Amino acid sequence: MKKLFCTLLMAICVICVVAQEKSLVNLQLETRFDYQREYLDGDAVKANSGFKGKYLNVILNGTISEKWSYSYRQRLNKAHADASFFDATDWLHLTYKLNDNWSFNGGKQVVGIGGYEYDRAPIDLYFCSEYWNNIPCYQLGISTTYTTNKGNDSFMFQICESPFNFQNEDLYAYNLMWYGSHGWFNSIWSVNAQEFAPGKFIYYVALGNEFRFGDAKLQLDFMNRATDEHAFFLKDCSVMGELSCMVNKKLNVFGRMSYDVNKTNSVGDMCVLPGTEITRLGAGLEYYPLPEGNRNLRFHLYACHSFGKNGNPAGTMQDEQTFVDMGVKFKVDILSLTNKIFK
């Protein structure tokens, strides 16, 4: 660990020296600290209560040339195999922009699955669905994206390692996505074929919808899952929703819900196991104290409660489980800070 941080420190110093143009190198550090209380059937779960360091991320991105760019995010507090620091790398990919319509991407990237809950950065989420908590969403792969002339719609096709390639069995996922931006209505939809065993697939239809009404917005996701052997509709699915409103320029209030169900006896869904029917409800607020829309500092407070049955005894969500949490997130632009210090 000491070697790791020394290496990162040296890398930051080198970057600060060579990065004369902001477009070439953008280096940020972001973190989130929480104080949480967990209760199960009304009893405090002391092992999961108290002060928690939730996230510590290094983000590096930039433009190499007119057509080439890169992006990298390393999660420093994430456990990884001793043999592979790459396990804790969320993404590291290179993008080639052919023209205003076509771009190509390769490296470790986000698996292309629809939905606004899935699309948001984990550091900006507080309590999520059982599906979200169990999907390994960062994998090696390639993708191509077509953006329409007006720029309102983008379509991405991706081939990557399957999220369920736990035993290195050479499993793949095939993902087709639509990103839409149409004023009051936006979308992140996908159809997916995820290989969970050699030659066996689970299929997703994931529909992420966002409706905007002035300072309020409603994000509503629906995901249906089915396997090769059995086609199910509404038997293995998840619904996630969030209603939020910016009360003023600094205060955001929100309410969230999720519902995960799997009433099948089919293998294949490794995120929401058979026998699951569980709901989570909660609400919270976010406060941004910095002026002029600066969101590099954020305080939050929320409470949530889950109830129902989880087919996975070791699952994240449990029956009659309650969380109360408060915390702070901040982001620092390392290069800007360094320039101010040594100017």
Q: How far apart are CA 97 and CA 74, in angstroms?
A: 24
Return all residues near 258 (Cβ < 8 A) that are at least 6 apart. Answer: 117, 128, 129, 130, 132, 238, 239, 240, 241, 279, 280
% of the chain with per-residue pLDDT over 70: 90
Q: What are phi and psi of 167, to 5 degrees?
A: -105, 20
Q: What is the mean pLDDT of the chain?
A: 91
Return all residues near 217 (Cβ < 8 A) that are at least 6 apart. Answer: 210, 211, 243, 244, 245
Q: Say if residue 263's pLDDT is above 90.
A: yes
Q: Say if residue 1's pLDDT is above 80.
A: no
Q: Go through the domains of the chain in sequence order and give each one's CATH number.
A: 23-342 (2.40.160.10)
Model confidence at 25, pLDDT cuts 50, 70, 90, reads confident
Q: What is the pLDDT of residues 221-259, one digit of tens each?
A: 999 999 987 777 889 999 999 999 999 999 999 999 999
For the ranges 63-67, 164-168, 281-285, the lowest mean pLDDT is seen at 164-168
Q: Say if residue 20's pLDDT is above 80.
A: no
Q: Say if residue 84's pLDDT is above 90.
A: no
pTM: 0.90
Measured in whole angstroms, the distance separating CA 197 from the mean position of its chain's CA atoms is 25
Q: How far apart are CA 208 and CA 241, in angstroms?
A: 9
**CB distance 305 to 131 below 8 Å:** no
Which pLDDT does position 341 carry in this prediction? 60
